[in-house]
Amino acid sequence: MTAPQARRAPVAPSEERTIRTAPGIPMLVLAAGFLAAAIASFATIAPPDHVSTTRWVHVVGGILGLLAFALTVPGFFTVAPNLSRVLVLFGRYRGTVRQAGIWWTNPFTLKGKVSLRAHTLNGQKIKVNDLLGNPIEIAAVVVWRVRDTAQASFDVEQYVSFVETQAESAVRTLASSHPYDLGQSQEVQTSLRGSRDEVAAELQTALQDRLERGGIEVLEARLSHLAYAPEIASAMLQRQQASAVIAARSMIVDGAVGMVEHALQLLSQKKVLELDEERRAQMVSNLLVVLCSHQAPTPVLNTGTLYG
């Protein structure tokens, strides 16, 4: 080709429209009338040995009555609460019936069922790397429903499978853009374990963008499972324990320093005893040992002095 091929314009999404169909009860009475007329016509046919000019009229009338009844019956359909019927006639979308009840339409119309109820997708656990490359196991629960029946029926292939695939893709993207825990990355402040609400909102927004083309509305999305992969779970547990010990030690030291400072201030204010720099340092050392030790300290009686 000498000229670059022009890009095709994107296909416009389908749009749901409501259609009014005939009430089912009157048509049911009409169908019963056709059947009764056919039975009556066959019942009044003269015997074969009896010559009558109206015999064939009754035969034709009975056949027409049965034909009318047979063509009327396929047109009936029912719509249950929170269900809908998508009507397609000769390959063309006619509309959607959402109102519950019994209805009648052209007997050659295809009447597809689309549920409007809330669906729950309990995603399977998948293994993926987080922002730092650590392998983790993650799963999500998604509550969704069909918002536009035309898009769900004509713009995607099997909208239930479409939701499952897009949900897994969104969870993988979410997991790879956040660290597992807080403090592991300076670039991203939110983590999968420490920012549950923010992560759930981000997942719901991402899913809604992905499922918009299928006429799907995401009601809720949240993580249902989050853990390190088995091959690194033990090492990460030791890391978390070490972080907890360091944090606890830091808190103990901060508290001990404050208590020592407060003790020295009280001794100075009440003039209990005068401490030079060497005695002050010795007292601070002893107090810190007592306050920061994991075990009860063993007292040592000093019968002499610090100077000999």
Instruction: Please tell me whether residues 219 and 128 are part of one structural domain.
Output: yes
CA 168 to chain centre: 10
Pick from 228, 256, 283: which residue ends a domain? 228
Q: What separation in angstroms does the CA of 72 have from each of 37, 58, 75, 121, 172?
A: 14, 21, 6, 40, 52
Which tens digits make up the pLDDT trace of 162-194? Answer: 999 999 999 999 999 998 877 665 666 788 888
CATH number at residue 213: 3.30.479.30
Q: What is the DSSP string of 50-93?
A: S--TTHHHHHHHHHHHHHHHHHHGGGEEEE-TTEEEEEEETTEE
Determine the 3-state secondary structure of 116 from DSSP: coil
Question: Residue 253 pLDDT more than 90?
Answer: no
For CA atoms 54, 57, 59, 61, the dihedral sign is negative
DSSP-based three-state secondary structure for 167: helix
Q: Quote the pTM value.
A: 0.69
CA distances from 10 to 5, 7, 13, 240, 245 (A): 15, 9, 9, 50, 58
Question: Tell me, what's the pLDDT at 7?
Answer: 60
**Other C-beta atoms lying within 10 Å of the C-beta of residue 218:** 25
pLDDT in tens, 139-164: 999 999 999 999 999 999 999 999 99
Q: 248 and 200 share a domain?
A: no
Helices 196-211/159-176 angle, 10° precision: 140
- How far apart CA 292 and CA 300 sit, in angstroms, is 18
Compute how many other C-beta atoms are within 10 angstroms of the C-beta atom of residue 282.
14
Q: What is the separation of C-alpha 43 from the centre of its chain, rounded to a whole number of angstroms?
A: 62
Q: Are residues 131 and 220 in the same domain?
A: yes
Tell me whether residue 5 is in a domain.
no
Give percent of the chain with pLDDT exceeding 70: 72
Does the pLDDT of residue 248 top 80, yes or no? no
* Tokens coding 42: 């066959």
- Within 8 A by CB and 6+ apart from 241, the residues are none
> Which of 115, 132, 161 is where one domain is finished?
115
In a domain, 248, yes or no: yes
- Domain identity same for 110 and 132: no
Same domain flag for 224 and 239: no
Closest CA to 151 of 163, 164, 165, 167: 163
Task: Please indicate, yes or no, whether residues 135 and 149 belong to a single structural domain of this protein.
Answer: yes
- Output the six-digit token pair for 194: 């420490």
Residue 142 and residue 108 in one domain: no
Is residue 307 one of the residues assigned to a domain?
no
Q: What is the pLDDT at residue 1?
A: 44
Q: Are 178 and 200 in the same domain? A: yes
Q: Which of 228, 244, 278 is the last residue of a domain?
A: 228
Query: What's the CA gap between 72 and 43, in Å, rounded?
Result: 22
170 and 83 in a single domain? The answer is no
Q: What's the structural domain count of the chain?
A: 3
Handedness of CA 267, 268, 272, 277 (dihedral sign): positive
Structural domain containing residue 101: 22-115
Residue with tokens 């009840």: 101
**What band does 95 get if pLDDT is binned at 50, 70 and 90?**
very high
- Burial tier of 245 (Cβ tally within 10 Å: 0-12, 13-18, 19+): exposed
* Cα 48 off chain centre by: 72
Residues 111 and 209 occupy one common structural domain:
no
